[in-house]
Structure 1
């Protein structure tokens, strides 16, 4: 029986983080390092006609000021560079905040001060910055990574026209920014002209290696990317952005290491965002609430240089049983920075879908939970195949029971507590998790301790801990005897820590490599004449806490350490096991309170129940729920990026005006429940990818709770006080 997997195990990297021993990208100290600081353009569209760098070059400590005239021409056709153009390659300006120069100086402060002395002159052109202004030019972009932007099942138009009950609603959301606490940082070190090492804040070290190798025309083996720790990523650090390319080029030109740490404001224009969207949902249903048609149209921001549609509408055509569905994601080209995946991309479409279902439930007089149960999908709606492991109905039951949902007063606007209206709302949560090919190396040393090595990343989700648990269980070692090494491209290759894919991608290979090491040591032991287990059949040897024993005669035993000391060398195995992508599910129930005079909203109680497959670590899973709930509060009540339509400038590029939730905004109680039923379709010990799932329905549940509290339906996030006064 498992000793560690599934338990509430503390993070193995926790002490390093709280004591400051963990080394983040900007912490690496390289002798002779210079500091880079980007100069950003101040117009939205046009051309750079002159760039005066003389005053900047004369500033103390300045080594160089690099412009488009100095930069090499990067080949970003391979790898993972999604911006559509590389800044500082020519004089064209595509958006406000585009890098136009880099100052390199002896200190960060000198570089930043000198950057203020670079003078730019422009020729401006007309620009378009909002979805509303460009919606007449909306078009269907091509598929992105094979995912189509239009999905049709049945005849949704005909079914909608004939439906006894119809609902037609529109929902909108502004631009959002990732804002990880650790800013993007790159330190580039060249060895000669053809070997590059990057200390990078990256949630995809292998992807960065391959992209940088292509950009500079190097062999992949000549580029090393190191990222042992990240202070958050949320998707923004899974994509190579211009500052990384420019820093690497500057280090090559200067002949010395160069470190660039973006400011918070620079991150708002340089490292992606969740794009603005407008959505229209039309539902058709019988009077019993069974869905007969779903038509879901989205218009989202693209840019003049790329056609990437980052906000998925997969939930609309997969989550509920409905024979007639038409999903269409249109884009409009704006003169804005390129977007990116932002944890969780699915939540944009689910905001519209789940809110419209709540509206439908009131229209037909059916409890919102019962409406979802009535449209429960037991098979894949696109293929007809049965799910290998889906327990969303258990999530509904567990969550509702814990929350007390069935005691809910159905009429909105009637429950008060003092000066506050009290409302209860719920929503379904789901997220598609991915799978990236991953290899894992496990080495059992002559000291009897194990080392697990994977070129994956821990972006704060507990990857170090869960990998260590799995390896320790597979080899029957104490957790303290296992060390996991991540975030370095010299390790066995793995994919990006994104799409909730890390655990399902990496765990199968870790488990197999560790089990193969155990089997190899048993084979060595029974063949060793000096071992008390010599000659014992291998299948009769048991292991526990690093000790091997004969199951028929436990007095005959040996230890990993003694076996390998006699063997004289470590045992090492590298394994690669493919898994398959899938879906994770949940249900979230929220209590919200709205002050009857001031309109401010408090989220006071949250219960989430989740189908995650097999639970690997209860503590790290609960941590993801706490993070997801907090993120959902931000999405619902405060987060929004403001763009000046005249200049294209972001006017709140900092954490004092781009508001994110803090401890005081979190509810005093968050209950996280898990079904803990292994999914037979997952090769990762039955576990499924989970990290982004507990975000997807929280904002919806808050909005639904606000309606239940006040009788006022809000369809545009964030739900700020002015909309409730």
Structure 2
């Protein structure tokens, strides 16, 4: 019964459209109170005094937490692996130091939300203010060169490309910039903390990682992990900012412990700009050279960016390490420290801004060599990871170029810019390569088959809007031979068998193999009962001769010889048949992935024994058609084609939706998204969705999505790779390249607002 891959509707769709799906802020508790933070109005310095007298007299106020009376948390120890990850190395209300505008410096707890917010406005704070750092260019001379980026060397072949590039006339060298951007999922962060008996904590939270949140809270509150439960059944988008643990979670738990009542803390849209991470601005210096035939001889990619209270910085050179056949590549970084809220992971961190720079530069190099941009990419294509010298586990990028060219109508494109128009609209076509690593981690799942034929699947994974509920149900359905309608998926709870964070596009490749393995164990146990059961028509039959579908076993050569799951369980006095197992990253071909009993705790890093044999990446091709108004400089993306090589497709409908969402995300980055700051105070001036522009319906064109659909034989027994992030990569470059083809104007600074089109090159 083939159900994996089918475009079935989301199994949680009815709950969502009727409002029955409960999000973090909706788990109201008896006797619950509300918390609202007081935030710093300076960007650097210290708090010298807090006057809360007026706030304490305000209606409904129960408690005001400051560094003077807040519960003390266990200090951060970089050597301790908690299983989670603080978004910033900064515990709230543990001292009086200020590192950025909007930092939490006090917390008001009151009977109602309105009372807490009103009282917070009455808290008076005195500061010892220091000069803050806000400008990237000013602070770069004082920056540092990191030695590692996500476990890899951060300074690769520094200085080695200069002789090669300088020695040829076939070269380009340009700088591409991207601004600070914020995530802005539809659902802002929220936490409800409930203590029982002083040593058991339940936190309802909007998070991409229930197990990570459990580990972080357990560590800092000195609790055993088993005494912390994180509940997050539905998440209204994350994009990376909900992948780490932030101060509001700790504040909610601190306040609930202090007042001995459940506490809700829901942060505002304005706080989304300051307190839960962002994508930092980058300045990327690209240079490359080719021989006379157009073969790349060297690529140089240097990124300047910023950080604050963490080791994270935007790893914009990641894709430059894996794309194209250049024999020499130099990838380096320099990071300044700014007094802006701490940067963090944001949808395809590194690759999203990095592909803008690399793929724009590739387009410029192709134009200089008078080559078609697609042909130039094909000429320099590699099926081997050029940095690791491993073959890719599965790679069909050339097919992506071919299909995308056909679907966008690439043959209509003119090599020289400005040749196509319709009235005042200049028309252009652009292409860019998409790529993102294909990660996989160990994950556990429990599958329970009930006597009535229903199935329950449990795993401490999350559905952040991607369709995880649905593809888990499809995996269990196909493996057991039971209709999807009888499968109930339970995720988003740390009390379930552990699974990794829903980040790095690895949930599908990690959790579904565990579901498949557990379901196979259940099916095989049930079949063993049948073949040993004197009351079964299958008694004595060989397992390899028996098929399964619709809740029945049958002899494949004679489907009338059958036995139902329900009858087998009834005759054997079984109310439930269950299995719980851990699927670990593949060994060898991946067709026989090892399993183990359910983990007690998650593995805190990705493991894959095949990493020494293969390089795991997904690839794609992004094609854009743009129309540019020659009078007003407005850019409209009229059509977009995205062709993706992401392994096996688990659900064509939800997968297509993910790529469409990623492309829209990329259109926002290309044309409008930018977090602006008032440099006098280092506070964001784009404080709401009225200020911070994202694409709306009129900004979004027809988006044509195609999948290669070939399973990756090495990633897992299922052959599927994650797709949540790759759809964004390359989009802004494809649009930039199309704008150049339409107008002859090269845009190298995101976002492409009309003023940049109207200025002279």
Normalization by structure 1: what TM-score? Answer: 0.98
The corresponding residue for 1:484 is 489
Measure, in 1, the Cα distance between the counterparts of 2:251 and 2:405.
52
CA distance 1:275–1:394, change in 2 (3 Å): same
User: Where does 1:157-556 land on structure 2 (aligned, <5 Å)?
Assistant: 157-303=162-308, 305-345=309-349, 346-556=351-561
Which shifted more, 564-573 or 547-556? 547-556
The corresponding residue for 1:698 is 731
The corresponding residue for 1:13 is 12
CA shift at 1:154, angstroms? 11
User: Where does 1:59-208 land on structure 2 (aligned, <5 Å)?
Assistant: 59-75=58-74, 76-77=76-77, 78=82, 79-152=84-157, 155-208=160-213
The corresponding residue for 2:709 is 676
CA shift at 1:406, angstroms? 2.2
Aligned partner of 1:689 among 694, 705, 722: 722
The corresponding residue for 1:32 is 31
Structure 1 stretches of 4+ moved >6 Å: none
CA shift at 1:144, angstroms? 4.2
Aligned partner of 1:577 among 576, 580, 583: 583
CA shift at 1:199, angstroms? 0.3
CA contact 2:303–2:316 (8 Å) conserved in 1: no
CA distance 1:492–1:312, change in 2 (3 Å): farther
CA contact 1:50–1:121 (8 Å) conserved in 2: yes
Measure, in 1, the Cα distance between the counterparts of 2:109 and 2:441.
37
Aligned partner of 2:647 among 603, 607, 613: 613
Are positions 1:718 and 2:722 aligned together?
Answer: no
Aligned partner of 2:700 among 666, 669, 675: 666
CA shift at 1:59, angstroms? 1.0
| Deviation string, structure 1 residues 469-499 (Cα, Å, up to 9, x no partner) | 1110011111111111110011110000000
CA shift at 1:528, angstroms? 2.1
CA contact 1:62–1:110 (8 Å) conserved in 2: yes
SS of residue matched to 2:677? coil
CA shift at 1:646, angstroms? 0.8
Measure, in 1, the Cα distance between the counterparts of 2:557 and 2:240.
53
SS of residue matched to 2:166? helix
CA shift at 1:152, angstroms? 2.8
Measure, in 1, the Cα distance between the counterparts of 2:560 and 2:245.
57
Q: Structure 1 unaligned runs (5+)?
A: none
- Tell me the number of residue pairs that the alignment of Structure 1 and Structure 2 aligns: 722
CA distance 1:84–1:142, change in 2 (3 Å): farther
Aligned-residue Cα RMSD (Å) equals: 1.4
SS of residue matched to 1:198? strand
SS of residue matched to 1:270? coil
CA distance 1:434–1:552, change in 2 (3 Å): closer
CA contact 2:210–2:230 (8 Å) conserved in 1: yes
Q: Structure 2 unaligned runs (5+)?
A: 586-607
Normalization by structure 2: what TM-score? Answer: 0.93
CA contact 2:71–2:258 (8 Å) conserved in 1: no
CA contact 2:659–2:723 (8 Å) conserved in 1: no
Measure, in 2, the Cα distance between the counterparts of 1:273 and 1:313.
18
Measure, in 1, the Cα distance between the counterparts of 2:483 and 2:149.
45
CA shift at 1:555, angstroms? 2.6
Measure, in 2, the Cα distance between the counterparts of 1:438 and 1:476.
23
